[in-house]
Amino acid sequence: MNILRKLLRISVLTGIVFNSIFLSLNGLFMIIDPKTWYEMVPGVITTGFYNQHFIRDIGIIQLFLGIAFIAGWFHPHLQLTLWGVATLWLVAHAVFHLWEVAVGICGASALLRDFAAVSLPALIGIAALLTFATK
């Protein structure tokens, strides 16, 4: 395996670890303390009124997504399914954020503000599928 391919695999593996940890911890935070999550995460307050039920619903999804990335790593025969379904949701979420900017609900600055928590996990999921799960 050449050095560039090794570096790519290491980078994608780092991303998978990021998705596993970030999505799981963010989901737990949303479930355990939705009010603090709502007040702390930049931009969330501008998207609507506080709704603990809705935040916890999305927190459960985030936790399951993180678990899917963890489980996929330990069960390679399930990677395509686990990472594929998780990535599908992450991409849909990122596209929704793009749509909000396109129709004027949010300014373009929201894309940069939300990149690490919204777009990056989707891109990591795509990279994980292309690098590991499509063998």
pTM: 0.93
Where helices occur in the chain by DSSP H, the ranges are 3-32, 34-40, 52-74, 79-102, 109-114, 120-128
pLDDT digits (tens, 9 = 90+) for 64-90: 999 999 999 999 999 999 999 999 999
What does residue 119 show for φ and ψ, rounded to 5 degrees?
-75, -40
Query: What percent of the chain has a predicted confidence (pLDDT) above 90?
Result: 94
pLDDT digits (tens, 9 = 90+) for 104-116: 999 999 999 999 9
User: Residue 106: what residue type?
Assistant: C
Give the pLDDT of residue 1.
Answer: 66
Tokens of 59: 């927190």
Give the pLDDT of residue 20.
Answer: 98
Q: Which of 69, 126, 70, 63 is nearest to 94 (CA)?
A: 126
Helix, strand, coil percent content, the chain, rounded in steps of 5? 85, 0, 15
Give the pLDDT of residue 135.
Answer: 60
| C-alpha atoms less than 13 angstroms from C-alpha of 122 in its C-beta half-sphere | 16
